């Protein structure tokens, strides 16, 4: 879908030819000149319409309007959250009409900033997204072009650009996450990472079982043992800043299907375990966004990808394996496999001497119980990193909530047969999983996002959400802004540089 920005007021809006005009009206609405403004004022006065979020008033072929349909939609206090909800309601209202071109007018809102523009774009994209990979005949998204009407297009350009980059990332993450496991094998994910890297000039490296064995990733290998599908360890590098800048490393759990292994899961809703690679999908999505936005920052993406299957060769409860870190692990439950693949990826991350490592994983059912589908679980011993991620999530409307990491929570991971066990009893399952991971993060600042509750929706609306791509991109753009301005790889003086990358960085 194509988003365009245009400077428009309500008087000009009446002359815009399109299938639908979607006009957001907030509590601060002040009537100006022209018939459309008067119409809004009258509708408000009569009580037929109000600025309450989601309130709708629709007309068809209204005299004096060049557009076929008009939808007034209440945007509450005009905050990013209300604008998002209003934009979604407006787009839903015209869904059945199969409009091709719409104008989403934000120009009547009291305050339109970068976040409001990108928030509105993400809402429109989200409500019109259609999964196609294994359902190519699904009724395609009809909306082709959405013009965002604003009071000052120049002032909204950064929001528009960020919105475009983030939504490209979210849609890539959704599509990969939604694919069933037989269309999203570790090999497929690796090919996707390579395809993503080529035009964007990322370096993508894909390791297979041989290389992973050579690295000593005994824990990751153990999980993959029960599957006929060969594992893949995907390494992506986006170099937007000087080589001397320490990168942020993102590690995405890439279990392309989680049966539980020998500790097999019950049959009900097991299909949803195709979503157990949503962490990996979010890393792919972030790299898609980086390709579009080209911030001045170095980022490494690591994806340990494999299936967790029961088999004659599969790991058994009680098996002890040696991780890449040298720590031995007693696998008491083969269904606690996410931490087993992540721990080796975390050890691998050490070689990048990272400024921060963030892992993203559909790690525990316990996190779903604790936080539901609203906020992702956030764990970090580093207050600065935790605050930066929480703030980014709030700003991106992709929120997370910090949970504790007290050492007392690690008690249950003790075992007589190895350095650590992979489970610790029934209580505080999201925290004990994080405590397990923390043992592999001594050499860098680390945060863990448990997205088990937020990465996809169940029921009639079953499907991936693309979370936490928006959170991560917001965080990374913030880090890029905070990075000392050094000569990028091109060595062109920044102020005078006219390379697209340099222009993008200044935008």
Does residue 335 touch ligand BES according to CB under 6 A?
yes
- Shortest distance, position 200 Cβ to ligand BES, whole Å: 30
Task: Give the integer Cα–Cα distance in Å for 313 and 343.
Answer: 22
Does residue 333 touch ligand BES according to CB under 6 A?
yes
Per DSSP, the three-state class of 476 is helix
- Shortest distance, position 268 Cβ to Zn ion, whole Å: 16
Q: Is the dihedral of CA 154, 156, 161, 164 positive or negative?
A: negative
Does residue 335 touch Mn ion according to CB under 5 A?
yes
Buried (b) or exposed (e) across 318-341, using 16+ Cβ within 10 A? Answer: ebbbbbbbebbbbbbebbbbbbbb
Chain center to CA of 104:
24
Does residue 276 touch Zn ion according to CB under 5 A?
yes
Task: Give the integer Cα–Cα distance in Å for 319 and 261.
Answer: 13
Site string for ligand BES, 260-299 (x = CB under 6 A): ----------------x-----------------------
Among 9, 16, 26, 258, which residue sits at the site for Mn ion (rule: CB under 5 A)? 258
The alpha carbon torsion through 261, 265, 266, 269 (nearest 10 deg) reads -110
| Segment lying near Mn ion (by CB under 5 A), choices 49-57, 254-262, 416-424, 451-459 | 254-262
Q: By beta-carbon distance, which residue lies closest to Zn ion?
A: 258
- Nearest CA-CA partner of 299 in 341, 262, 249, 252: 249
171 interface partner picked from Mn ion, Zn ion, ligand BES, none, CB below 5 to 8 A per type = none
Task: Give the integer Cα–Cα distance in Å for 251 and 241.
Answer: 20
Q: Closer to ligand BES at the Cβ: 317 or 478?
A: 317
Contact criterion met (CB below 8 Å) for 420 and 437: no
Distances in Å between the alpha carbon of 419 and those of 302, 430, 441? 25, 20, 15
- Shortest distance, position 384 Cβ to Mn ion, whole Å: 32
Contact criterion met (CB below 8 Å) for 381 and 346: no
- Shortest distance, position 211 Cβ to Zn ion, whole Å: 23
Catalytic residue set: 265, 339
| Segment lying near ligand BES (by CB under 6 A), choices 141-149, 162-170, 233-241, 359-367 | 359-367
| Segment lying near Mn ion (by CB under 5 A), choices 8-16, 96-104, 328-336, 386-394 | 328-336
Give, as ranges, the residues between 242 and 261 that touch Zn ion (CB under 5 A): 255, 258
Site string for ligand BES, 210-249 (x = CB under 6 A): ----------------------------------------
Task: Give the integer Cα–Cα distance in Å for 3 and 21.
Answer: 14
User: Could you tell me how many residues of this chain bind Mn ion (CB under 5 A)?
Assistant: 3
Among 107, 159, 338, 399, which residue sits at the site for Zn ion (rule: CB under 5 A)? 338
Q: Closer to ligand BES at the Cβ: 266 or 312?
A: 266
Q: Closer to ligand BES at the Cβ: 392 or 452?
A: 452
Distances in Å between the alpha carbon of 40 and those of 56, 78, 112, 419, 420? 12, 16, 19, 68, 65
Who's near 308: CB < 8 A, 6+ residues apart? Answer: 223, 226, 227, 255, 257, 258, 259, 260, 261, 276, 334, 335, 337
| Footprint of Mn ion (CB under 5 A) | 258, 335, 337
| Footprint of ligand BES (CB under 6 A) | 258, 276, 333, 335-338, 362-366, 368, 423, 429, 452
| Footprint of Zn ion (CB under 5 A) | 255, 258, 276, 338
């Amino acid at each position: 879908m194509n988003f365009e920005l245009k400077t428009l007021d309500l008087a000009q809006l009446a002359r815009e030819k399109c299938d639908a005009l979607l006009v957001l009206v907030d509590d601060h609405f002040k009537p100006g000149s022209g018939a459309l403004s008067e119409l809004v004022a009258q509708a408000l006065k009569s009580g037929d319409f109000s600025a309450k979020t989601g309130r709708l008033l629709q007309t068809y072929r209204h005299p004096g309007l060049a557009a076929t349909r008009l939808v007034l939609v209440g945007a509450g206090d005009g905050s990013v959250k209300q604008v998002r909800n209003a934009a979604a309601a407006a787009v839903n209202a015209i869904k059945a009409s199969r409009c091709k071109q719409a104008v989403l007018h934000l120009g009547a809102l009291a305050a339109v900033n970068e976040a409001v523009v990108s928030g509105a774009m993400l809402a429109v994209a989200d409500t019109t997204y259609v999964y196609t990979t294994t359902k190519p005949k699904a009724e395609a998204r009809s909306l082709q072009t959405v013009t965002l009407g604003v009071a000052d297009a120049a002032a909204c350009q950064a929001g528009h650009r960020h919105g475009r980059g983030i939504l490209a990332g979210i849609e890539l993450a959704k599509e990969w996450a939604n694919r069933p496991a037989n269309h999203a094998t570790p090999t497929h994910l690796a090919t996707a990472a390579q395809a993503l890297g080529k035009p964007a000039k990322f370096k993508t490296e894909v390791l297979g079982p041989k290389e992973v064995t050579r690295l000593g990733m005994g824990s990751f290998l153990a999980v993959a043992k029960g599957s006929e599908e060969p594992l893949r360890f995907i390494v992506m590098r986006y170099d937007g800043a000087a080589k001397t800048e320490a990168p942020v490393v993102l590690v995405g759990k890439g279990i392309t299907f989680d049966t539980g292994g020998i500790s097999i899961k019950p049959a009900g809703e097991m299909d949803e375990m195709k979503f157990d690679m949503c962490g990996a999908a979010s890393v792919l999505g972030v790299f898609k966004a980086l390709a579009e936005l080209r911030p001045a920052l170095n980022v490494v993406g690591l994806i340990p990808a494999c299936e967790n299957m029961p088999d004659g060769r599969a790991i058994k409860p009680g098996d002890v394996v040696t991780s890449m870190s040298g720590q031995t692990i007693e696998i008491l439950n083969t269904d606690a496999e996410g931490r087993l693949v992540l721990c080796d990826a975390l050890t691998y991350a050490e070689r990048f001497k990272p400024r921060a490592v963030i892992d993203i994983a559909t790690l525990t059912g316990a996190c779903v119980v604790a936080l539901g589908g609203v906020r992702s679980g956030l764990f970090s011993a580093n207050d600065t990193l935790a605050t930066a991620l929480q703030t980014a999530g709030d700003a991106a409307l992709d929120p997370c909530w910090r949970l504790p990491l007290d050492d007392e929570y690690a008690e249950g991971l003790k075992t007589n047969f190895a350095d650590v066990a992979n489970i610790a009893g029934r209580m505080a399952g999201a925290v004990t999983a994080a405590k397990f991971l923390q043992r592999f993060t001594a050499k860098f600042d680390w945060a863990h996002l448990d997205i088990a509750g937020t990465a996809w929706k169940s029921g009639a609306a079953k499907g991936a959400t693309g979370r936490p791509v928006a959170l991560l991109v917001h965080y990374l753009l913030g880090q890029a802004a905070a990075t000392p301005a050094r000569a990028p790889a091109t060595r062109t003086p920044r102020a005078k540089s006219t390379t697209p990358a340099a222009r993008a960085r200044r935008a």
